[in-house]
């Protein structure tokens, strides 16, 4: 069974631009969560989706948004990029709530 | 803010030794805990999990211990191998009905041959 896939793997943007990242969960998994990883803040929860509904959101500004499609694939969008948005963005999926979450390889975003 | 803390940022062991990585968590209501391993350039890899109704769980070469009295979690790796070198994170689920995980800062394990 294929693991969680994320595209693109690397991305370079400039301040003020917007970016969309994509995540395909493991087949059959309906829950998708997003995390931001930086050297200073570590792994921080962004949001969580289940059956196309956002169930929880972390403490990030409104520039960070996401959605989930009927096939459980998810996208996250960051608008008006700032230098501090440079990070590894990780997606995780799980079969049902409360079970282990499996992470993808991440998308490395660099904002110049 | 909320966080799961780690006692040591780095740990260096000899190949074949047993490793113990510790973690202190802050939310006594947390009911699910996971250990992840992250190698350079990769996403976190699930190692083992434990629920709050247990105090010990064993996997292949790994054991997780949970002490709810002092809110302490540990990961024991038996016969540590060079391939075990990575950053290890503990994570807790603090909100029932949510997948949200709160991660510790991580411990970098280095295995010397």
Give me the DSSP letters along B2-61.
--BEES-SEEEEETTS-EEEEEE---TT--EEEEEEE-TTS--EEEEEEETT-SEEE-SS
Residue A108's closest chain B neighbor by CA?
Answer: B41
State the average pLDDT over residues B49-58. 95
Low-confidence ranges of chain A (pLDDT < 70): 1, 97-98
Whole-number pLDDT of residue B9: 87
Whole-number pLDDT of residue B6: 41
Tell whether A26 is within 8 A of chain B (Cβ).
no
Mind telling me how many Å the CA of B69 is from chain A's nearest CA?
23
- B89 and A106 in contact by Cβ < 8 A? no
∠ CA A107-A112-B1, rounded to 5° = 65
Whole-number pLDDT of residue B7: 45
Q: Which residues of A touch B9 (CB under 8 A)?
A: none
pLDDT digits (tens, 9 = 90+) for A12-42: 999 999 999 999 999 999 999 999 999 888 9
């Amino acid at each position: 069974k294929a693991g969680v896939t994320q595209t693109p793997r690397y991305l370079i943007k400039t301040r003020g631009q917007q970016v969309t990242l994509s995540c395909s969960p493991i087949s059959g998994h309906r829950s998708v969560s997003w995390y931001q990883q930086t050297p200073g803040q570590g792994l921080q929860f962004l949001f969580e989706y289940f059956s196309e509904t956002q169930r929880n959101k972390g403490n990030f500004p409104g520039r960070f948004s996401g959605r989930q499609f009927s096939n459980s694939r998810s996208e996250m969008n960051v608008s008006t990029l700032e230098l501090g948005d440079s990070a590894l963005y990780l997606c995780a999926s799980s079969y049902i709530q409360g079970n282990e979450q499996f992470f993808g390889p991440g998308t490395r975003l660099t904002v110049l | 803010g909320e966080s799961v803390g780690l006692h040591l940022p780095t740990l260096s062991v000899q190949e074949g030794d047993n490793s113990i990585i510790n973690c202190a968590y802050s939310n006594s209501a947390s009911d699910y805990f996971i250990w992840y391993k992250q190698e350079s350039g990769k996403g976190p890899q699930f190692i083992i999990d434990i629920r709050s109704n247990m105090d010990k769980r064993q996997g292949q070469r790994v054991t997780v211990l949970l002490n709810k009295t002092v809110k302490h979690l540990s990961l024991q790796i038996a016969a540590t191998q060079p391939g075990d070198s990575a950053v290890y994170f503990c994570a807790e689920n603090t909100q029932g009905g949510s997948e949200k995980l709160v991660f510790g800062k991580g411990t970098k394990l280095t295995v010397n041959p």
